[in-house]
Amino acid sequence: MLKVLALLAFGYLLGSVPSGWLVMKIYRNQDVRRLGSGNIGAANVYRAGGPGAFATTLIADGLKGVIPVLTGILIGVESPEIALPLIGLAAVMGHTWSIYLGFRGGKGVATSGGVMLVLAPVALVLSALAWFFVIRFTKLASLASLVAVSVAFFSLVALHLIGWQAWRPVGWSVILLGIGLAGLVFYRHRSNIERLASGRELKITTQ
């Protein structure tokens, strides 16, 4: 139990590290919260800092989901089928409500992807393909993210139903995590959804 509690705290604190903010400070000595959409996520970093800053932020945000969950596997936490999804959720919540930024943060997409990379890599691959497809044809990062998390959730359900066993089985706890992550991402994108509906959403290439 102590291991789980420690990893929940570690996941939240690591998830809270504002990668996008740090990258833009290093790349341009600018506060990304004052640029573009004002978000610290990879899409806004792309608008403000270009492909290099975007890639660095995407990887860093993803690792915030990978590291605590993988650590839980490596040290053998108690009740892993329950503990590991909770640890992943803690990391995403840290990213979304960062303790270092006054409980403000990103929208949780890349960090959720990092969690899925460890717990259900096939679902991540399918959702990433969906993300790149939508970005390629619309240049709308928010729409791509919403489609990607939807594909990830339905992929988790499908993998569970067919009994996929590669790496780790996709159990009900991972599906519940998928519901939680999808709900969180949609909630954080509620203003984007309004702009998408009205045709006012910023494209990823918009400065």
- Give domain status of residue 203, yes or no: no
- Give domain status of residue 100, yes or no: yes
- Give domain status of residue 204, yes or no: no
Residue 166, pLDDT above cutoff 60: yes
What's the mean pLDDT when you consider all of the chain? 91
**What value does the mean pLDDT take over residues 71-99?**
92
Q: How confident is the model at residue 207, as a pLDDT?
A: 52
Q: How confident is the model at residue 44, as a pLDDT?
A: 87
Q: For the chain, what is the domain count?
A: 1
Q: How far is residue 24 CA from its own chain's centroid?
A: 19
Pull the structure tokens for residue 118: 């460890």
- Give domain status of residue 91, yes or no: yes
Question: Distance between CA 109 and CA 89 in Å, rounded?
Answer: 12
Provide the domain limits for residue 176: 2-198
> What backbone phi and psi angles, to 5 degrees, belong to 98?
-70, 130
- Give domain status of residue 58, yes or no: yes
